[in-house]
Amino acid sequence: MYVYKLTVPPIAEKKIYLWIPVCLSGELKRLRIRTEDGTIWQEMQLRPGKADWYAPLDVSAYAGSSLFFDTDAPADWFGNLQFSSHPPKRESCSRPQLHFTTDRGWNNDPNGLIFRDGVWHMFFQYNPYDVEWNNMQWGHAVSRDLIRWQQLDTALFPDETGTMYSGSAVTDRKGSLGFGKGSLAFFYTAAGDKNDWSAGVPFTQRIAVLRPNAAAPELDCAMEKTGITAVGHIAGENRDPKVFWHEASSSYIMVLYLDGHDFAVFRSPDLRKWTLSQQLTLEESWECPDLFCLPVEGSGETRWVFWAADGYYFIGDFDGYRFTPESGRLCAYAETGSRIPYAAQTFSGTEGRVISVAWFRLPNRNKPYTGMMSIPAEFSLVQTENGLRLRAPYVKELETFRRKLEHFTDFSQPIPLPEDSAWMLDISANSNLEIELPFGAVSLKDENLTVLGSSFALPKENNRCFTLLADLEVLELHAANDTICAVWELPPQKGGNIRLHPEAADSAQAILSVFDTNR
């Protein structure tokens, strides 16, 4: 074990970042950073070696003090540590335009989604020290339009209670936690025994806060852990608390994953004391629960939806104490093709809109990041020939970034695709058709739609319309009035042509849209 002492420069009105070199090859080594009194401040696993990039760590709190690094990394590795008044620039590479990707490193589940003072806050599971899962902490990004995101400093770091697993955000309406009325409360899973620091500690649900007016909402989140355990260990790796205010029963509600296919519902008057009101088992469902009320389009009615990680959902009723399923297990994502979307969560603070973001579990080969977030979708329920189904169109904010729309009815010539922009193709047809894309084929035969080898049965009310959206390394299908949604990984491709072959020359229409997020 090697101990390295590093003195942080005195602060000069700006933040101080320690740039930690990240190597993507070699053996993982544990690194602990201690303060002058011997307290562990950070613990991480990384691969010491020649830097592929640098991960920033805000050390402003220790300006003028010394930090001590305990590791069995080679001594010469420490010579690559750097101090700066700013974080490293975003790693340069071709990236999706419409899907959030991290500046560097691995990301998975969206966490703590909340809309506040005109700003959308998205936290997420994050490992800035590799392109693989490890060192779970909460990254943070903000947006004013749900499409363009700015990544900020990491908000929650691992500690002696565990690494920082998934959770959610809610407004403390009365200041019950003692941090001020209107403060933001973040419920997260402390994943004990997932790092050496928390060896032997069980999974628990804990609380962090952001005080009102602690900083301008578009600036870094001054999040602090309260030390409050909201719910202790119950079973297995119980995790992923989703908390919201239920007006009808005047209580905060938490839905929590327990173990296997088991979930729990808790109630609290003050965000501190939680009472179990229901345990339920949901068929072949696990992780990342959510519970929300949706309008049934055209009826004036509403239904409750209980959601789990794979996009499985159950329609039913919720009285503030118990969720009663009225449907079997349904799936928001087409179960043919790649099962890429996962761990979706809905935003708090949206005043009637139910807006969801999912993690796209893509490998992002040869990129300085792994994983991306979906374009946000706005949920509702719609009556179909098979009963009620969840409808998930893209949020209306996406329309702002349509730069160019071209209508095609003559398909004697190929349609050129843009080289460096996300694009959307809206198709309507009165006969069968074939579409040649640079990366595969799409066909519509009667009510059967096949995209890149995956087939979907379109309902009669679909009117033979569907949408394809391509964003560099991902392709999405929306069909059947946005009740069919599917996602594929795209191979590397640049531009190319669309060739569309309808059976009847006047039976199809195509609208090609190009997006621009630089305005």
User: Which pLDDT tens digit goes with each residue over 320-343?
Assistant: 999 999 999 999 998 765 689 999
Distance CA 494, CA 439 (A): 10
> Is the same domain home to 388 and 408?
no
pLDDT value at residue 221? 60
288 and 361 in a single domain? The answer is yes
**Which CATH number is 44's domain given?**
2.60.120
| 94 within a domain of the structure (yes/no) | no
283 class by beta-carbon count within 10 Å (0-12 exposed, 13-18 middle, 19+ buried): exposed
Instruction: Please list the ranges in the chain whose pLDDT falls under 50.
Output: 213-215, 217-218
Instruction: Check: CB of residue 205 under 8 Å from CB of residue 264.
Output: no
Edge-first strand order for the sheet with 402-408 is 402-408, 508-515, 423-429, 465-470, 474-479, 484-489
Residue ending a domain, choose from 370, 392, 414: 392
Reduce the DSSP state of residue 461 to 3 states and report it. helix
The total number of structural domains that make up the chain: 3
Residue 32 in any domain: the answer is yes
Domain shared by 37 and 170, yes or no = no
The distance in angstroms from the start CA to the end CA of the chain is 52
SS3 314: strand
Number of H helices, E strands in the chain: 0, 43
400 phi/psi in degrees, rounded to 5: -55, -25
Confidence (pLDDT) at 469: 97
Does residue 90 sit within a domain?
no
Among residues 386, 315, 346, 388, the alpha carbon closest in space to that of 243 is found at 346
| CA trace torsion 458, 463, 469, 470 (10° rounding) | 70
**Residues catalogued as catalytic:** 109
Asked if residue 397 is part of any domain, the answer here is no
Is residue 422 domain-shared with residue 345, that is, in the same domain? no
Q: What is the pLDDT of residue 136?
A: 98
Q: Are residues 472 and 384 in the same domain?
A: no
- Is 98 within a domain? no
Is residue 364 domain-shared with residue 227, that is, in the same domain?
A: yes
Q: Which pLDDT score is estimated for 462?
A: 64
Asked, for residue 506, whether it belongs to a domain, the answer is yes
pLDDT of 54-86, one tens digit each? Answer: 999 999 999 999 999 998 888 889 989 999 999
The last residue of one of the domains, among 326, 357, 392, is 392
CATH number at residue 460: 2.60.120.560
Does residue 198 come out as left (phi exceeding 0), alpha (psi in the -120 to 50 range) or beta? alpha
391-119-250 Cα angle (round to 5): 65
Instruction: Clarify whether residues 328 and 412 are in a common domain.
Output: no
205 part of a folded domain: yes
Residue where one domain finishes, among candidates 84, 114, 133: 84
191/298 same-domain check? yes
Q: Looking at residue 360, which CATH number applies to its domain?
A: 2.115.10.20
CA–CA distance, 128 with 369 (Å, rounded to integer): 9
Per residue in 175-231, pLDDT (tens digit) is: 999 998 999 999 999 999 999 999 999 999 999 998 754 445 445 567 899 999 999
Domain that includes residue 369, residue range: 105-392
The pair of three-digit structure tokens given for residue 425, joined into one six-digit string: 């193709």
Which residue do the tokens 């602060």 mark?
Answer: 11
Looking at the fold, whether 324 and 258 belong to one and the same domain comes out as yes
Q: How far is CA 510 from CA 150, 183, 295, 434, in A?
A: 34, 48, 31, 12
Residue with tokens 């989703």: 242
Same domain, 168 and 71: no
The verdict on residue 91 lying in a domain is no
For residue 341, which amino acid is it?
P
363 shares its domain with 420: no
- 45 and 121 inside one domain: no
